[in-house]
């Protein structure tokens, strides 16, 4: 059974809300991607002079994650045009980082501060049915939530689901990634490039309304896109390194393509995980060659983390928004920060300026500590 069939259970996207370091709203994100200028700059939220770099992609001021999540969910619901009754039928799936402030509270208070409280508060504020689940599994949290939502709709267990995810750059994670020597000391994120030296963090918050195509059609909603395939697989290799041959990610890609009823030749663009770290980019390149075969050499690829930063638990959601924009506007965003080829990353990278292309299917990839890998296929309606 594929992700697109004749039973009216295609999973469609009918609403989208997003915030990135470029600002709030999908049009703001689209315009920023078109300029190809990264959003990185000095971090002003906390003193960063003792860390490996003082650079990240952040919104001005001190935004509040709960408020930003509420805003993007409201934006997605408004665009979908759901009535109060339809909203009340939809559960919420959330991906977010555990609040680092909780660990500094007294033990008695910590036990009363569940990370899932965010989802419960969003449900109440937005008139949704229930907080179904909260994912905190690092860089695949959002894409795992999307995977679960699509599976529930595709199998008829739900008619529509709201999925949201968010991460705002904070000192706890900044210090953690700096101590792990993962942050790029030169302040530039260079995915798949020679002399790439690590990642840079970024703000990211997003939400989508997913529905069965039959439910969307019944209320006259026009889909923005189809979530046509989804896959997930583990490396079972190392706690913080990907399998060097990309075995888990290749299986995730194969599963997503099979679910969508597509082959490698149908994919017109890959929005890669591409963190700019030597191990990750080489393993992801190997996975693309393993999964797409000869087609990998001619498929446009970019990691937009080079523009908006690595948004950790929100990565899959922000990059889904980027993939939707690429489909709708026929403009593939660049892979910024590039210095030259690396033999371990032989890909058709989008460089210099966005590439015009009539694309019908986009592959969006994410990976996380523990060897977790996800692949999503997003298609034109």
The catalytic residues are 139, 273, 310
Return phi, psi of residue 371, to 5°. Answer: 80, 25
Return d(Cα 237, Cα 244) in angstroms, integer: 9
Q: CA dist 261 to 12, 123, 134, 246, 357, Å?
A: 16, 34, 29, 22, 22
Instruction: Please state whether beta strands 269-271 and 361-368 pair in parallel, antiparallel, or not at all (unpaired).
Output: parallel
Q: Which residue has the tokens 């403009």?
A: 331
DSSP 234: E
Return d(Cα 289, Cα 285) in angstroms, integer: 6
Residue 226: strand pairing partners: 12, 379
Return d(Cα 367, Cα 316) in angstroms, integer: 9
DSSP 314: G
User: Hey, how many other C-beta atoms are within 10 angstroms of the C-beta on 12?
Assistant: 25
Residue 230: strand pairing partners: 376
Return d(Cα 269, Cα 349) in angstroms, integer: 10
Return phi, psi of residue 153, to 5°. Answer: -75, -45
The residue among 377, 287, 317, 334 whose CA lies nearest residue 72 is 317
Residue 201: strand pairing partners: 310
């Amino acid at each position: 059974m594929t992700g697109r069939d004749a039973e009216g259970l295609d999973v469609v996207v009918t609403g989208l809300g997003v915030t990135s370091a470029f600002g709030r709203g999908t049009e703001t994100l689209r315009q920023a991607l078109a300029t190809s200028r990264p959003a990185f700059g000095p971090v002003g939220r906390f003193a960063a002079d003792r860390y490996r770099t003082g650079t990240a992609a952040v919104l001005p001021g001190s935004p509040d994650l709960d408020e930003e999540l509420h805003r993007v969910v409201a934006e997605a619901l408004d665009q979908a045009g759901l009535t109060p009754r339809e909203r009340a039928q939809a559960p919420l799936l959330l991906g977010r980082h555990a609040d680092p402030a909780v660990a500094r509270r007294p033990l008695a208070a910590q036990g009363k501060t569940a990370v899932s409280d965010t989802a419960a508060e969003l449900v109440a504020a937005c008139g949704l049915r229930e907080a179904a689940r909260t994912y905190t599994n690092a860089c695949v949290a959002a894409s795992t939530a999307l995977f679960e939502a699509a599976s529930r709709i595709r199998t008829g267990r739900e008619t529509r689901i709201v999925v949201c995810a968010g991460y705002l750059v904070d000192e706890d994670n900044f210090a953690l990634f700096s101590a792990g020597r993962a942050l790029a000391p030169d302040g530039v994120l260079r995915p798949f490039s020679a002399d790439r030296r690590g990642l840079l963090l970024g703000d990211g918050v997003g939400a989508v309304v997913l529905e069965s195509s039959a439910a969307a059609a019944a209320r006259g909603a026009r889909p923005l896109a189809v979530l046509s395939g989804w896959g997930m697989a583990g490396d079972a290799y190392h706690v913080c390194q990907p399998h060097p041959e990309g075995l888990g990610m290749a299986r995730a890609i194969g599963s997503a393509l099979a679910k969508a009823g597509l082959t490698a030749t149908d994919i017109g663009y890959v929005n890669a995980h591409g963190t700019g770290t030597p191990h990750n980019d080489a393993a992801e390149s190997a996975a693309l060659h393993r999964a797409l075969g000869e087609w990998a050499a001619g498929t446009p690829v970019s990691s937009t983390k080079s523009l908006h930063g690595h948004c950790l638990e929100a990565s899959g959601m922000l990059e889904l928004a980027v993939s939707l924009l690429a489909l709708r506007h026929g403009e593939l965003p660049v892979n910024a920060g590039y210095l030259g080829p690396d033999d371990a990353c032989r890909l058709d990278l989008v460089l210099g300026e966005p590439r015009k292309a009539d694309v019908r299917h986009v592959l969006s990839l994410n990976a996380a500590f523990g060897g977790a890998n996800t692949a999503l296929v997003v298609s034109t309606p």
